[in-house]
Amino acid sequence: MRLRTQIDRLVAARPLEKNEIGFFTASLAKGRIMIAQGEHRRNRELGKALEYFHNHTLYYYEAQASLALAICQLKLGNEPQMLDHLRRAIDWR
């Protein structure tokens, strides 16, 4: 829980309106921590981060977010969505 508290503070310290990339990279880190803690259902933040990274051609972060979402979908038993996210993670454009 200590790590979760620290990442929550980091996200709060990087407000979206002042630091978009900082907010979404912190959100990605938070999403990965949530996955490690077994919270696979709460992936809305990852989806928003994925969209931001894609729209801003931040492919490295987009691939990380796609992989994290693929893990969530795998744990939830949603194989088609998992495969979509995996394809997106390895798409070199």
**9 is written with which tokens?**
């503070």
78: phi then psi, degrees, rounded to nearest 5 = -100, 75
- Per-residue tens of pLDDT for the chain, all 93 residues: 687 788 888 888 888 888 999 999 999 999 998 898 888 776 788 999 999 999 999 999 999 999 999 999 999 999 999 999 999 898 855
pTM: 0.86
Alpha-carbon distances of 18 from 12, 21, 67, rounded to whole Å: 11, 9, 27
| Domain parsing of the chain, residue ranges | 2-90
